[in-house]
Amino acid sequence: AQSVTQLDSQVPVFEEAPVELRCNYSSSVSVYLFWYVQYPNQGLQLLLKYLSGSTLVKGINGFEAEFNKSQTSFHLRKPSVHISDTAEYFCAVSGTYKYIFGTGTRLKVLA
Amino acid sequence: EAGVAQSPRYKIIEKRQSVAFWCNPISGHATLYWYQQILGQGPKLLIQFQNNGVVDDSQLPKDRFSAERLKGVDSTLKIQPAKLEDSAVYLCASSPGRGETQYFGPGTRLLVL
């Protein structure tokens, strides 16, 4: 069985400050890991993904995430956020064929 | 490359009525997903197709929801009869294969009164 936990439902942060959105997973098989973003009134789009290889993955819009197998985590980071990063962020895990999304973290960037 | 298309974008119905949503995935994508996203929650998988076969429908309320993908291309999701708690955004996504990056459509926002 697989599960995904996003520990923070909301994260407020000031513009130009760094941010980390946390994601932990559990799985009995090897997994692929994803972060998706959903801007207000828009569909989900892929930010980045980890399939294999380097544990540090870089995505669009300056985001990156690090796969930590021992801690079963895949936290998302950005060194300096912009107002336009305000959105809902979803972590997802895929193992075998099942695809499971976390409950989401609402990032609110404050001016 | 055209993205995932969904229609309608918005639908308002009364409880006990029926409604159908349509999805056209990206050309060549074998896997198609339907999700229900209730306000403030993450997407919940309703059904997953691999070509025209069902891979996972464990969370589909089969007494009222049905879905088909007859020719392995576009798909229809139906609710009959609708309940108030079905108010949500219904998302369709497709991917080249199982477990790969999913590409989402804009969603259909359903309001059941």
Mutate which of B6, B33, B49, B102 to test chain A, going by most A C-beta atoms within 10 A? B102
Q: How far apart are CA B40 and CA B28, in angstroms?
A: 32
Amino acid identity for residue B48 in this structure: Q
* Beta-carbon count within 10 A of B38 CB: 13
Instruction: Give the torsion through C-alpha atoms of A89, A93, A98, A103, to 10 deg.
Output: -40
Range in A17-21, A73-77, B100-104 the model is least confident about: B100-104
The candidate with the shortest Cα–Cα distance to A104, out of B15, B43, B108, is B43
Across the interface, whether the CB atoms of B33 and A49 are under 8 A apart is answered no
For tokens 């309320």, the residue is B61
Q: Which residues of B touch chain A, with CB atoms under 8 Å apart?
A: 33, 35, 41-45, 48, 50, 55-56, 91, 93, 98-107
Query: Is the model's pLDDT at A41 over the cut of 90?
Result: no
Q: What pLDDT is recorded for position A64? A: 97
Q: What pLDDT is recorded for position B27? A: 93
Region A62-91 average pLDDT: 95
DSSP reduced 3-state for A83: helix
Is the peptide bond prior to B8 cis by the omega test (within 30 degrees of 0)?
yes
Radius of gyration (C-alpha) of chain A in whole angstroms: 13
Q: H-helix or E-strand containing B68?
A: strand B65-68
Chain B residue numbers with beta carbons less than 8 Å from the beta carbon of A94 are: 98-100
Chain A residue numbers with beta carbons less than 8 Å from the beta carbon of B101 are: 34, 46, 49
The candidate with the shortest Cα–Cα distance to B82, out of B41, B110, B60, B40, is B110
Does A53 or A47 have the greater pLDDT score? A47
The residues with which B10 forms a beta bridge, in sequence order, are: B109
Task: Look up residue A69 and give its two tokens.
Answer: 């197998």
Q: For A10-36, how does the pLDDT look when each residue is reduced to its tens digit (9 = 90+)?
A: 999 999 999 999 999 998 788 889 999
Q: For B35-85, how does the pLDDT look when each residue is reduced to its tens digit (9 = 90+)?
A: 999 988 889 999 999 988 998 898 999 999 999 998 889 999 999 999 999
* Distance in Å from the first CA to the final CA of chain B: 37
Q: How far apart are CA B79 and CA B66, in angstroms?
A: 7
Query: Sign of torsion, CA A35 A37 A38 A40?
Result: positive
Task: Look up residue B73 and give its two tokens.
Answer: 């291309």
* Distance in Å from the first CA to the final CA of chain A: 41
Q: H-helix or E-strand containing A44?
A: strand A44-50
